[in-house]
Amino acid sequence: MDRYDTAVITGLSPKGFFTGRGSSGRDLLCLYTDVGEETYGPWFRKKKKSYHRTETVLNHSSPYRITPACPFFTQCGGCDLQHLSLEREHEIKTLMARELLGLPPERFIPSPLTFGYRNNMEFTFTPLAMGLHRKLSRRLLDIPSCPLADPEIQKAMSSFRTSLSEEEGEVRFVTSDEGLLTRIYPKYVSKETDTAHLATGPKKLDGLTYFVSPDTFFQSNDSILPQWLDIILSWARETASPESTVLDLYCGSGTIAMKLATHFTHVTGIESNPLSLFLFEKAIRANGFSSGELSLIRGDLFTHDLKTARADFLVVNPPRGGLSPLVRTFILEKRFPYVIYSSCNVASFSRDISELGAYQLEKYLIVNMFPRTFHFEVVGRLKLKEE
């Protein structure tokens, strides 16, 4: 049986929740509310923390409250902020970054699209249902569509639902210029594949051709991607000459590296995933870059020896977990005058800056890569402190 309590919402958590206090003095991580509200709803324990799910606002309803676009909003684990205006979402993300980083962002870049922006999505399916997981749960929520998904993905989702078989597993959809790419991962079967069986498609953005696949990573919001890349290139050009050699760690399929190669003499990308490197090599050929302009190194950045890497300037865009200890050590030893760091997790971004004590955060901005969720991209430029 659910336990119910009231909660007074007092602030924000860096993990993407509102913080509140229950009637018994219990600290709560709260969902679907806003700072200042007094709410009522069920609370539950998970991994030694207490969570509160708002069902009713008792007092001080937020002036930013709106009607969610999705009828499954308070059940599905995909979104966090559909109950609040876009203006308030931007304020919340700015506050989260400012509290962790100690200074305001230089700018907040809004996404051109609020819904229909996700160019890739993965759904779980069973013989009877298809959808996403419930909030803070592994239980499957059966949903007919997702408003965050690109319209082509929503159409494919509808078609896939009509052909559910006795299998269970996951299906991943990725948009490309030549149509939708689909990969089905049956339950209990390895997701691993090789380049001979890799489904790929081109994606042209801002004059460059990239290649995408259901089995590799690519930024999820095409509508804001050119602005994000322009910022990284602009900040790099401010601090490094065109003749500089630039090193791009965690380069993936070349999204950042190819943009940098339009200006800098030589760019080297390091990536551990062979499938991503395969797509990067295809993109190098498609865009007419020479090996002298763009080169690739396969290396696991938790174990790869970076001592021989030669570069004048560094760009990093790690996974949500942030920089590996090896990369932090490499940065401190090489003492690059500037480092551009882009992250989808402001908490790990903040931690890494603290670990890189020889550097100071010169400036940063927020790119709203993931509207209607607590997530966002933060791009910062780190400057080596004067001795």
Euclidean distance between CA atoms 79 and 118, whole angstroms: 12
Euclidean distance between CA atoms 258 and 298, whole angstroms: 17
Euclidean distance between CA atoms 278 and 269, whole angstroms: 13
Q: Which residue has the tokens 């990284």?
A: 232
Q: What is the pLDDT of residue 60?
A: 95
Would you state the torsion angle of the CA atoms of residues 187, 190, 195, 196, taken in this order, to the nearest 10 degrees?
Answer: -70
Read off the amino acid at residue 45.
Answer: R
Euclidean distance between CA atoms 187 and 96, whole angstroms: 37
29 pLDDT above the threshold of 60? yes
**CB neighbour list of residue 369: distance below 8 Å, 6 or more residues apart:** 111, 219, 220, 221, 224, 228, 344, 375, 376, 377
160 pLDDT above the threshold of 80? yes
Write the DSSP string, 209-222: EEEE-TTS---SBT
Rg over alpha carbons for the chain, rounded to the nearest Å, is: 22
Q: How far is CA 272 from CA 55, 137, 251, 300, 361, in A?
A: 45, 31, 9, 5, 28
Euclidean distance between CA atoms 132 and 142, whole angstroms: 7
175 pLDDT above the threshold of 80? yes
Q: What is the pLDDT of residue 164?
A: 83
User: For the chain, what is the mean pLDDT?
Assistant: 94
Q: Domains in the chain, please, with CATH? A: 3-63 (2.40.50.140), 94-114+219-384 (3.40.50.150), 120-212 (no CATH)
Give the lowest-confidence range in 79-93, 122-136, 180-194, 355-369.
Answer: 180-194
Task: Tally Cβ neighbours within 10 Å of residue 26.
Answer: 13
**CB neighbour list of residue 196: distance below 8 Å, 6 or more residues apart:** none
- Reported as a pLDDT band with limits 50, 70 and 90, residue 308 is low
* Residue pLDDT, tens place only, 219-273: 999 999 999 999 999 999 999 999 999 999 999 999 999 999 999 999 999 999 9
The answer to whether 210 and 199 have CB atoms below 8 angstroms apart is: no
Tell me the whole-structure pTM to 2 decimals: 0.94
Q: Which residue has the tokens 């490094």?
A: 240
Strands of 206-303, DSSP E? 208-212, 245-249, 266-271, 294-298
DSSP 191: -
Q: Which of 274, 330, 321, 316 is nearest to 298 (CA)?
A: 274
1 pLDDT above the threshold of 60? no
The answer to whether 140 and 126 have CB atoms below 8 angstroms apart is: yes
Euclidean distance between CA atoms 52 and 9, whole angstroms: 10
* Residue pLDDT, tens place only, 31-67: 999 999 999 999 999 989 999 999 999 999 999 999 9
